[in-house]
Amino acid sequence: MSPPQVLGLAADPANGLPQDEILYDNGGLNDYALITEFGRQGDSRGPDTIQLVGELDDYVLGASPFSSTQLAISVDSNGNGTFESSDELIGIVQNVHPLEITVLQTPEVLFTFV
Ligand SMILES: [Ca+2]
Ligand SMILES: [Ca+2]
Ligand SMILES: [Ca+2]
């Protein structure tokens, strides 16, 4: 059994970057964190959380452009609260469905914010 993990989409100061540096936000669809085994509430491992800079409103959640059953996390680049292709993909969570109830109703439980 692994301890819960914080999966960072914010930089770790240990690698010389400020913690408010958003990672994977420079290459559009070509750079993103691929999270393969997100630990859920009640799993033997978990609950994991995904660390984001700022607040949830800075991001949009939706379906991965590569697989409609996987959750995509994008920076809401134009700040309008909805997803467009111009918004910057930073993460894909393979085992979280974009339409599951947690994502739709209490998405904040999946994240920690710095
Ligand atoms: Ca950055
Ligand atoms: Ca990106
Ligand atoms: Ca947007």
Question: For 25-70, what is each residue's pLDDT tens digit?
Answer: 999 999 999 999 999 888 887 789 999 999 999 999 999 999 999 9
CA of 86 to the centre of ligand 3 (A): 7
Token code pair at residue 1: 């059994």
Distance 92 CA to ligand 3 centre (A): 17
Cα–Cα distances (Å) from 82 to 45, 85, 111, in that order, read 32, 10, 19
What is the value of pTM for the model shown?
Answer: 0.91
Q: Which residue has the tokens 């010389």?
A: 16
79-102: per-residue pLDDT in tens? 999 988 899 999 999 999 999 999
Q: What residues are neighbours of ligand 3 (ion), with CB under 5 Å?
A: 76, 78, 80, 84, 87
Q: How far apart are CA 72 and CA 90, in angstroms?
A: 8
Bridge-based pairing state of the strands 71-75 and 88-93: antiparallel
1 CA from centroid of ligand 1 (Å): 33
Ligand 2 centroid to Cα of residue 47, in Å, is 25
Contact 61, 72 (CB under 8 A): yes
